[in-house]
Structure 1
Amino acid sequence: MSTATRLQTSPIETMRRREQFDIYSAYRRILGNEKISTPLAAILALTELIEKSNAGTMFELVQALKEGAEVLRKWFTNSISVNAGCELFIAFVTLFPHESADFKDLKIELAEQGRQYVNEAMSYREKIAKLALGFIKDGSVILTHSYSRVVMQALLLAHKQKRISVYVTEARPRGSGIRTHDELTAAGIPCTVVLDSAVAYVMDKVDLVLVGSEAVVESGGLINAVGSNQMAIIAKAANTPVYAMAESYKFHRLFPLSQYDLPTHTPDIHSFPRLRTRPTDSTNVRPSVLQSQVDLSSKQRLPSSTSAHTVSSSEYAMSPEQIRLNPEVDYTRPDLISLVFSDVGILTPEGVSQYLVGMFAG
């Protein structure tokens, strides 16, 4: 076969090879293990891609990994955690010393190294929990946000040795804080759910804030479930320390300067809808207010012990479209974070930047 013919058929062969391995299905299957986080699931999916790949050179292999990572990203509106895992593994493959005489042996070794890293990384949460233990005093009142497995492990470990109480935000719209509340309560830890809008109200009772992370970026800032930023701002105003907890595989080479620099931000988020028609001049009352008056007038008068806004609150629940126009994550500046607890040690936000430079420089 001539060189020209090989060049013409190689794209078709490459397409066939991709069709043979569905990286997203592999990712979803791996993520079925509750203990495996999103970045680690992405790494394991890429190791399977290496094993299934027919790449004959390092260039082809790295290209296949980048394409596989891109396929994973396209499945998510929030792909930050997936990006972190994919970039870490691709950097590892690129910098790995190529000593094997046979490229097939090298691919086997790379896949084994990927699995070995994931197995080791499964112990990172325990390491982080032990590091945080010294910062949680007996009788501490802790505020946390949403649901984080590493924060949960730290709280459960602290409960075995000290008396603690926990406030957790509801974390709308998914209500992930309810899961935190249920698991802590089942473990015997006093826990109360607070509204996301009541963080400032409860902050004066809090000794420290513990939050997990989707990613810790090059600036030392934090990307986490939306609401983390406002919590950190309020904590800073109240002189309450904010401790972030993050496994090192969540350290991500991003440098956002504001919320709108996040890869998850789209023009639709918090955009104003176009009004199709103007209100008629027959009424100067806003439609929502007018509708509520009509609804209340058509009902029986409520007992004095029952508040009207509680009974009719379902009428004002956010629609799926309104929820879609809100962000899933937000960015917390490094100056609002006291320390980052990680498996590589207790770091300042500046220390995270230095570690990231070293990690990706090989």
Structure 2
Amino acid sequence: MDEARKIVDDIRALRVQGARNIALAALKAVRFVVEKSSSTALENAVKEIVLELARARPTEPAMRDALTYVLRALRSAGSRDELLQALDRYEEELRSAEEKISEYGARRVPDGGVVITHCHSTTVVNLLRRAKKDGKKFRVIVTETRPLYQGKTTAKELLESGIPVTYVVDSAAYYFMRDADIYLTGADAITSDGYVINKIGTALMAVAAERFDVPYYVAASTLKYDPVTAAGFPEPIEERDPAEVIDPRELPGAEIRNPAFDVTPPELVDGIISELGIYAPQIFPAMVSQSKGVCPHIEEMIALFRLAGKQQ
């Protein structure tokens, strides 16, 4: 099972970026385990890798949704082949959702305008590629996104797609926001009351966007909605290794903090662009629950959430 364990390590170390890509990588790890486990060991092996994956990144409801789906499929599948077919169906749903988000979101990209974005989101990049394919001309301001510089990945992917890019340091976001026509990011999680959890710095840029009357849209599939927050659980904010920011030996005695995410309130977000359409963040959770019927599975999600984060 070395391939599956390597995927777990890659997810934990942020070598896999973007919530959708993390969910797909998790499914790939499960697939390795399903294909290589003996029939007698299959169930326990799948449960073990699901738990390892859930603990790798606690603030990843998209992956948690995928893993909950795996556990349900494990119970209902009558054979190894049926379980693999269930994984295929889930991956196809992800691809279909991505296409719809790109279609809907591309219509909000202003022709001849300027987009500003933060961090790296495959969903956002695909949306912008679709806008270009639809004949729109625009420029994208990309923040570097310290400390791991995920913005560099965004910039490279956009440039490879022929989209003009202006690459700036994070602290220049306010300065360049005044030039933007739309602020667009992905999301790692969306809570039951419409708060958006995304890469640290997202909320600060949302405040700047409001100051300059720049609409802020979040491109995110319904998998980013975290139903356990409806049960009163707070979305965990991951604190990563301070050494990602600076070698602690350079500042002896200083407390070095490295939160991976921040929380943007719904009043700063103009809309969530999902496969369901574009909705205000305050009503997005209800739309997801109505369309997906997440409530019947919420206890399973809570159980996995508790195991992953040792929540009470």
TM-score (norm: length of structure 2): 0.74
Which of 272, 279, 295 is equivalent to 1:361? Answer: 295
Contact 1:66/1:90 (8 A) holds in 2: no
Please say if 1:337 is aligned against 2:269: yes
Q: Pairwise mapping of residues 151-162 of structure 1 onto structure 2 (< 5 A)?
A: 151-160=124-133, 161-162=135-136
SS at match of 1:218: coil
| 2:166 matched residue in structure 1 | 192
Q: Distance in 2 between matches of 1:173 and 1:216?
A: 23
Q: Distance in 1 between matches of 2:186 and 2:99?
A: 14
Matched AA of 1:45:
A
CA shift in 2, pair 1:183/1:25, >3 Å: closer
Q: Taking every aligned residue pair, what percent have the same amino acid on both sides?
A: 28
CA shift in 2, pair 1:22/1:207, >3 Å: closer
CA shift in 2, pair 1:343/1:320, >3 Å: farther
Which of 47, 72, 91 is equivalent to 1:118? Answer: 91
Note the C-alpha offset of 1:253: 2.6
Which of 18, 22, 34 is equivalent to 1:38? Answer: 22
Q: Residues 232-280 of structure 1, C-alpha deviation per residue, up to 9 Å, x if partnerless?
A: 1211222211110112333323539xxxx542345998xxxxxxxxxxx
Which of 215, 218, 225 is equivalent to 1:241? Answer: 215
| 1:79 matched residue in structure 2 | 58
Note the C-alpha offset of 1:47: 4.7
Q: Distance in 2 between matches of 1:324 and 1:23?
A: 33
Q: Distance in 2 between matches of 1:29 and 1:174?
A: 14
Q: Which runs of 5+ in 2 are unaligned?
A: 297-312
How many pairs does the alignment contain? 281
Which of 242, 246, 255 is equivalent to 1:319? Answer: 246
Contact 1:235/1:242 (8 A) holds in 2: yes
SS at match of 2:262: strand
Q: Distance in 1 between matches of 2:280 and 2:96?
A: 22
| 2:197 matched residue in structure 1 | 223
Matched AA of 1:85:
M
Contact 1:44/1:115 (8 A) holds in 2: no
Q: Which runs of 5+ in 1 are unaligned?
A: 1-19, 270-316
Q: Distance in 2 between matches of 1:208 and 1:254?
A: 31
Contact 2:132/2:163 (8 A) holds in 1: yes
CA shift in 2, pair 1:217/1:66, >3 Å: farther
| 1:174 matched residue in structure 2 | 148
Note the C-alpha offset of 1:138: 1.4
| 1:278 matched residue in structure 2 | none
Contact 2:17/2:120 (8 A) holds in 1: no
Q: Distance in 2 between matches of 1:117 and 1:97?
A: 16
Q: Distance in 2 between matches of 1:225 and 1:90?
A: 24
Q: Distance in 1 between matches of 2:137 and 2:239?
A: 44
Matched AA of 2:64:
C
Note the C-alpha offset of 1:221: 1.9
41-50 or 143-152, larger mean C-alpha shift: 41-50
Q: Distance in 1 between matches of 2:240 and 2:28?
A: 33
| 1:70 matched residue in structure 2 | 51
Q: Distance in 2 between matches of 1:356 and 1:89?
A: 18
Contact 1:156/1:187 (8 A) holds in 2: yes
SS at match of 1:193: strand
Q: Distance in 1 between matches of 2:24 and 2:153?
A: 22
TM-score (norm: length of structure 1): 0.65
| 2:237 matched residue in structure 1 | 264
Note the C-alpha offset of 1:226: 1.1
Matched AA of 1:113:
A
Q: Distance in 1 between matches of 2:113 and 2:72?
A: 46
Q: Residues 180-217 of structure 1, C-alpha deviation per residue, up to 9 Å, x if partnerless?
A: 22333343333211221121112221111010122223
CA shift in 2, pair 1:54/1:22, >3 Å: farther
Note the C-alpha offset of 1:156: 2.0
SS at match of 1:173: coil
Matched AA of 1:347:
Y
CA shift in 2, pair 1:144/1:332, >3 Å: same
